[in-house]
Chains A and B, each alone.
Chain A
Amino acid sequence: MINVIIIDDEPLARSIVKEYLMAYPDMQVVQECGDGFEGVKAIAARQPDLIFLDIQMPKINGFEMLELVENQPSVIFTTAFDEYAMQAFETNAIDYLLKPFNQDRFDKAILKWKSRITKNEGLAPAFSESLRQPEERNRVVVKVGNAIKILPVHDIHYIEAYDDYVKIHTQDGYHLKKKTMNFFEKALDNNQFVRVHRSYIISLAQLTKIEMKEKESYVAKMKDGSVIPMSKTGYSRLKEVLGL
Chain B
Amino acid sequence: MKQQSQKIVLLEIIWWLAWTCLQVFALNFAGFDWKISITDAVISNFILGLEGYSIILILKVYQPDKSKLYYLLIWSAALAGIYILLVEFALGIAFIGNITYLQFLDNTILLRFGVSFLMLAFISVLGWIWFYLQTQQRDESRKSDMERLSREAELYSLRQQLQPHFLFNSLNSINALIGTEPARARTMVQQLSDFFRGTLRRQDSHRVTLTEELDQLKLYLDIEKVRFGHRLQTEVFMDEKSIGMMIPSLLLQPVVENAIKFGLYDVTGDVLISIQAEVMGDDLRICVENPYDPETTSPSKGVGFGLSSIERRLYLLYGRNDLLTTENKNSTFKTCIHIPQTK
Contacts and interface: CB of A to CB of B under 8 A. Distances in A.
Interface stretch (A7-15, A40-48, A192-200, A231-239): A7-15
Contacts of B229: 10-12
A99 B171 contact: yes
A134 interface: no
A2 interface: no
B169 interface: yes
B227 interface: yes
Nearest to A151: B296
A57 interface: yes
Interface in B247-265: 264-265
Given A13-B176, A15-B180, A100-B175, A80 B169 contact: yes
Interface string B181-196: 0000000000000000
Given A10-B228, A19-B176, A100-B175, A34 B169 contact: no
B172 A58 contact: no
A19 B169 contact: no
A9 B296 contact: no
Contacts of B179: 16, 19
B267 interface: yes
Contacts of B168: 80, 98-100
B266 to A, nearest CB: 7
A81 B165 contact: yes
A16 B266 contact: no
B268 A34 contact: yes
Given A9-B228, A11-B229, A100-B168, A16 B268 contact: no
A116 interface: no
A35 interface: yes
B296 A12 contact: no
A137 interface: no
Interface in A113-134: none
Interface string B150-178: 00000000000000110011011111110
Size bin of chain B's contact surface: 20 to 34
Contact of A59 (B172, B173, B175, B266): B266
Contact of B169 (A10, A15, A152): A10
B176 A80 contact: no
B143 interface: no
A58 B296 CA distance: 12
Interface in A4-56: 9-13, 15-16, 19, 34-35, 37, 56
Given A9-B228, A80-B168, A81-B165, A35 B173 contact: no
Interface in A129-143: 139
Contacts of A227: none
A150 interface: yes
Given A59-B296, A80-B169, A100-B168, A12 B265 contact: no
Which of A10, A12, A15, A19 counts the most B-chain CB atoms under 10 A from its CB? A12
Interface string A67-108: 000000000000011000000000000000011111000000
A57 B175 CA distance: 20
Contact of A58 (B169, B171, B226, B265): B265
A10 B165 contact: no
A12 B173 contact: yes
Given A12-B176, A34-B268, A152 B171 contact: no
Nearest to B168: A80
Nearest to A139: B296
B202 interface: no
Interface in B227-247: 227-229, 231
A80 B175 CA distance: 13
A80 B180 CA distance: 21
A-B pairs, 5 with minimum CB distance: A80-B168, A16-B176, A99-B172, A12-B176, A100-B172
Interface of A: 9-13, 15-16, 19, 34-35, 37, 56-59, 80-81, 98-102, 139, 150, 152
9 contacts: A13-B172, A19-B176, A19-B180, A56-B265, A59-B265, A59-B267, A99-B171, A100-B168, A150-B296
Interface of B: 164-165, 168-169, 171-177, 179-180, 226-229, 231, 264-268, 293, 295-296
Given A37-B268, A100-B174, A102-B175, 11 more contacts: A12-B226, A13-B172, A15-B176, A15-B180, A58-B265, A59-B266, A59-B268, A80-B164, A81-B165, A100-B172, A101-B172
